[in-house]
Amino acid sequence: MSVTLDTVALENGETLGYRERDGGHIPVVLLHGNMTSSKHWDVVLEAMADRYKLYAPDMRGFGESTYNERIDSLGDFAEDLALFVDELGIETFHLWGWSTGGGVAMEYAATHPDRLDKLVLLAPCSTRGYPMYEKDELGNPTETLLTTREEIERDPVQVVPVLQAHEQRDGATMKAIWDQLIYVNDRPEPERYDVYVEDMFTQRNLVDVDYALVHFNISSEHNGVADGTGLVDDIETDTLVLRGEDDLVITEQMLEETLTDLGENATFVELEGCGHSPLIDDLEQLLIEIEWFLE
């Protein structure tokens, strides 16, 4: 099965790059996370059962996509997705979101319930967002939440090192960050890893995405930054939530918030021996669980 990289112009003036795998008759749309793009779905595009027709868009500001209009929320990405599937003529489909892409997928599921068959959330950001905290002089988080783009851009631990690595195209630093937080159990083979890192440098919206994550809140609770929209109550789709037992990015508290807010629509599976990237840690285990759910 071959994978093509193409672009599609949206009605809002943005152009999205996307990868499409030929063959298959069951549409599945894959939404990547922060600091990645559709390129990081390559192992899934290579290995998922051939009955699935796979589409992996680059969200606005990532990969091959444009970033003409600055995003303020994950809802902006969800509306891009709505335009994307309309342009490609995808009527109903399964939606699989990973990390930040999980938040976008939840937003889309709440606002376009008639278009989804099933929803898969892999290590998703919480329904109540992804908080960032002010750091003390030792770099440890305090109890003070960051709320503005300016505060986030100055964060000396989570943001500044990444921005500097981007500016200098410092692959070694990017790998060090990913080895510490993402690839805690296994790593991609070297050539693939180098390609991933080069792809990370295509992102043009890191601070905006962090800002959107901080303010994301589709629950009915206040998350310390923003009131909840309550949109989670509009998610009617059968949902599979997966998290690696060793995930250092999505905490157990974030997982519990998501499962509580999704309620009876959600089924949870813990992935053994996996961190934040089960695609690399144990792709076989991941695909077994997801393909079983999608049947």
Closest CA to 256 of 219, 202, 286: 219
Residue 196 domain-assigned (yes or no): no
> Are residues 54 and 21 in contact, defined by beta-carbon separation less than 8 angstroms?
yes
Half-sphere exposure for 217 (CA within 13 Å, toward CB): 15
Count of alpha carbons within 13 Å of 152, Cβ hemisphere only?
Answer: 17
227 DSSP 8-state letter: -
Q: What pLDDT does residue 1 have?
A: 80
What pLDDT shows up at residue 144? 97
155-181 pLDDT, tens digit each: 999 999 999 999 999 999 999 999 999
Q: Domain residues for 60?
A: 3-130+216-294
Closest CA to 91 of 100, 82, 99: 82
What does the pLDDT look like over 104-128, one tens digit per residue?
999 999 999 999 999 999 999 999 9
Q: How confident is the model at residue 43 (pLDDT cuts 50, 70, 90)?
A: very high
Provide the β-strand partners of residue 239.
119, 266
Contact 233, 241 (CB under 8 A): no
* Average pLDDT for 248-271: 97
40 part of a folded domain: yes
Percent of the chain with pLDDT over 90: 100
Q: Which residues pair with 9 in a beta bridge?
A: 15
Inside any domain, residue 20: yes
What is the reported pLDDT for 81? 98
Q: Could you tell me if residue 156 is inside a domain?
A: no
Q: Give the percent of the chain with pLDDT over 70.
A: 100
The answer to whether position 96 is within a domain reads yes
Q: 68 vs 12, 115, 275, CA distance in Å?
A: 10, 27, 34
Write down how long the chain is: 295
The rounded Cα 77 to chain-centroid distance in angstroms is 11
Count of structural domains within the chain: 1
Q: Hey, what are 17's tokens?
A: 């790059």
Residue 173 contacts by C-beta under 8 Å, 6 or more apart in sequence?
Answer: 161, 164, 165
Q: Using H for helix, E for strand and C for coil, what is the string for 77-126?
A: HHHHHHHHHHHHCCCCEEEEEECHHHHHHHHHHHHCHHHEEEEEEECCCE
Residue 101 maps to a domain: yes
For residue 190, being part of any structural domain is answered with: no
Q: Which residues of 25-64 are buried (b: 16+ CB within 10 A; e: fewer)?
A: eebbbbbbbbbbbbbbbbbbbeebeeebbbbbbbbbbbbb
The enclosing domain of 230 has a CATH number of 3.40.50.1820
* Position 194 in a domain: no
Here the tokens at position 3 are 């994978």
261: pLDDT strictly greater than 90 = yes
**Whether pLDDT at 102 is above 90:** yes
